[in-house]
Amino acid sequence: MRGIQTKKIKLTGFPPSATLAAVFRRAKEVLKQDNKIPIRMILLDHKKGCANLLVSFIYENEKK
Partner 1 sequence: MKTRKNKFIVVSIIPTGIRCSVGGYIGDATLATNKIAAACDYVITNPNAVNAGAFNFKEKNVLYVEGAAIDNFFEKKIDLLLPQKNRIGIILEKIDDKIGLRYALKAIEAFQKVVGIDIVSVEYIPPTAKIIRLQEGQFCADIPNIDPIFHAAQKLLNKGADALAISTHIPIRKKFLRQYQRGLMPNPYGLLEALLSHTITHIFNVPTAHAPILTKSDLDTYLFDSFSSDARSAFENISGTYIGSVLLGLDNAPRLVSKGKGEIKLNDIAAVVLPSNCLRSIPAAIALECGIPIIEVSENKNIFDRLPTIRGKNILRVRTYEDAVEKISDLRANLT
Which residues contribute to the site for partner 1 (CB under 8 A)?
1-8, 19-21, 23-24, 37, 39-47, 54, 56, 58, 61, 63
Give me the least distance between CB of 52 and partner 1, in Å please: 9
Give me the least distance between CB of 6 and partner 1, in Å please: 4
Which is closer to partner 1, CB of 33 or CB of 45? 45
Burial 8-19 (b: 16+ CB within 10 A, else e): eeebeebeeebe
CB-CB neighbours of 61 under 10 Å:
11
